């Protein structure tokens, strides 16, 4: 059993999928989000989407960093994580504008004071203001903040996004076909709409990252930061403190807490001007580089043989954990968090658009015929199959 499983989490969320398998899969079962008829407007030419996601256990890292450094502004990044994990899922079905957002914050009031809530709420509005400058309008309609210390150890920061969208402007992934190439957009670096370097960590795999990288000091001093039922051998087994420097500029804490990058400015431009050239979109969130297999419209083989070099944050995690490359690519995005499926002749357009925002992009792989859904990753001198 992997360390990830021993900690009570799953990269593939098998039990969740089993529990929901009998639910209505919506109008486009291969689309990245569930899409339903226009119940709100009763127009056959429109669809409704409501999506829910959040920052996950990254909020625990923020709690530890705040406690250790006193830097309360770290909570603004958690606000961005909760928003982007929703927004970038919606982007993958073609939705990029006129979206409604509601936040859901559950806290232990004894540990999470009002000042932290203020940082989360103001951080949310600041991100919406930034995105508005790129023509992505998200309307913040409040939400629910609950004091549930008996349920939540520290704080859980989540949200929902709702949108009504033209049915003929949905990316359903049904156009993905053998012969397509996959253009990958980097999760790391610094885009021209980010104020600092982004490690690329996103908001997935943070249970693994936190316990594998951080020192037992955090178990001994912050019992509220983990499930006390876990065996000691999987709790904070790393070598580092959050304040340890990776290089002269950034600490371990800053690397692990880089706010999740949104690709909204890039995809708004592509979807408005080149909608018909996009065959499919995949957000490499939970499940990392294996996420694509869930949304293929047929029995295809995905070959990823030109992924980006592994960014430092993932090298640190692997070095501390001793995880195999296979597990790393299944849990983390490994430097590539968005995949655009398109014809080979359109790849340069996708790449050039991303680079105009100073986001690195390249053809990372291709789609091939197969008798089953399968994935081959060639990286770091290995061939990994799923």
Summarize pLDDT for 46-85 with one digit per residue, the tens: 999 999 999 999 999 999 999 999 999 999 999 999 999 9
**pLDDT tens digit string along 289-304?**
999 999 999 999 999 9
More confident residue, 92 or 18: 92
Instruction: Please state the rounded mean pLDDT for residues 15-20.
Output: 63
How much of the chain exceeds pLDDT 70, in percent? 94
Three-class DSSP category at 214: strand
Least confident of 5-9, 26-30, 202-206: 5-9
Per-domain residue ranges for the chain?
3-385
Give the pLDDT of residue 24.
Answer: 77
For residues 65 and 76, give the distance between their C-alpha atoms in angstroms, rounded to a whole number: 13
The structure's pTM equals 0.94
- Side-chain half-sphere of 133: how many Cα atoms within 13 Å? 8
CA 41 to chain CA centroid, nearest Å: 30
Q: What's the CA gap between 117 and 102, in Å, rounded?
A: 14
Lowest mean pLDDT among 14-18, 40-44, 339-343: 14-18
What distance in Å separates the CA atoms of residue 209 and residue 222, rounded to the nearest whole number?
17
In this prediction, residue 2 carries a pLDDT of 62
250-259: burial string, b at 16+ Cβ within 10 Å, e else: bbbbbbbbbb
Quote the pLDDT of residue 11: 53
b/e 159-186 (16+ beta carbons within 10 angstroms → b): bbbbbbbebeebbbbbbbeeebbbbbbb
> What pLDDT score was predicted for residue 13?
55
Four-way CATH pick for 3-385: 3.40.605.10, 3.90.650.10, 3.20.20.140, 3.40.50.720: 3.90.650.10
CA distance 245 to 263: 28
- Summarize the confidence of residues 32-48 as an average pLDDT: 97
pLDDT given at position 14: 64
Give the tens place of pLDDT for each residue, 344-386: 999 999 999 999 999 999 999 999 999 999 999 999 999 999 9
Q: Is the pLDDT of residue 141 over 80?
A: yes
* pLDDT mean across residues, the chain: 95
Q: Is residue 363 within a helix (H) or strand (E), and if so which, with residue range?
A: strand 361-369
* Helical segments of the chain, H only: 3-6, 14-20, 58-69, 74-91, 114-132, 206-213, 217-221, 252-256, 264-274, 312-321, 325-331, 347-356
């Amino acid at each position: 059993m992997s360390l990830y499983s021993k900690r009570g989490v799953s990269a593939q969320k098998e039990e969740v999928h089993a529990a929901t398998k009998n639910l209505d899969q919506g109008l486009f079962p291969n689309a990245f989000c569930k899409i339903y008829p226009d119940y709100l407007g009763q127009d056959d030419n429109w669809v409704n989407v409501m999506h829910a996601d959040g920052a996950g256990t990254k909020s625990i890292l923020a709690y530890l960093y705040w406690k250790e450094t006193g830097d309360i502004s770290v909570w603004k990044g958690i606000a961005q994580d909760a928003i982007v994990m929703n927004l970038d899922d919606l982007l993958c079905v073609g939705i990029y504008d006129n979206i409604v957002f509601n936040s859901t914050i559950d806290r232990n009031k004894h540990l999470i004071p009002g000042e932290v809530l203020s940082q989360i709420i103001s951080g949310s509005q600041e991100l919406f203001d930034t995105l508005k400058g790129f023509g992505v309008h998200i309307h913040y309609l409040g939400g629910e903040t609950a004091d549930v210390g008996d349920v939540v150890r520290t704080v859980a920061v989540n949200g929902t996004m709702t949108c009504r969208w033209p049915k003929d402007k949905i990316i359903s992934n049904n156009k993905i076909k053998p012969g397509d190439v996959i253009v990958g957009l980097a999760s790391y670096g610094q885009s021209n709409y980010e104020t600092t370097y982004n490690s690329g960590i996103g908001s997935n795999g943070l249970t693994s990252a936190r316990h594998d990288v951080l020192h037992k000091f955090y178990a001994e001093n912050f019992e509220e930061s983990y499930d006390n039922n876990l065996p000691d051998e999987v709790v904070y087994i790393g070598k580092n403190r959050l304040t340890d420097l990776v290089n002269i500029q950034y600490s371990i804490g800053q690397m692990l807490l880089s706010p999740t990058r949104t690709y909204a400015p890039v995809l708004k431009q592509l979807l408005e001007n080149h909608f018909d050239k996009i065959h499919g979109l995949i957000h490499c969130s939970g499940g990392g580089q294996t996420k694509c297999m869930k949304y293929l419209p047929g029995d295809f083989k995905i070959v990823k043989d030109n992924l980006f070099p592994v960014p430092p944050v993932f090298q640190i995690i692997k070095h501390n954990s001793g995880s195999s490359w296979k597990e790393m690519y299944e849990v983390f995005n490994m430097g590539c968090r968005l995949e655009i499926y398109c014809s080979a002749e359109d790849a340069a357009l996708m790449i050039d658009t991303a680079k105009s925002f100073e986001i690195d992009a390249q053809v990372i792989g291709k789609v091939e015929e197969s008798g089953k859904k399968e994935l081959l990753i060639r990286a770091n001198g290995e061939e990994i199959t799923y």
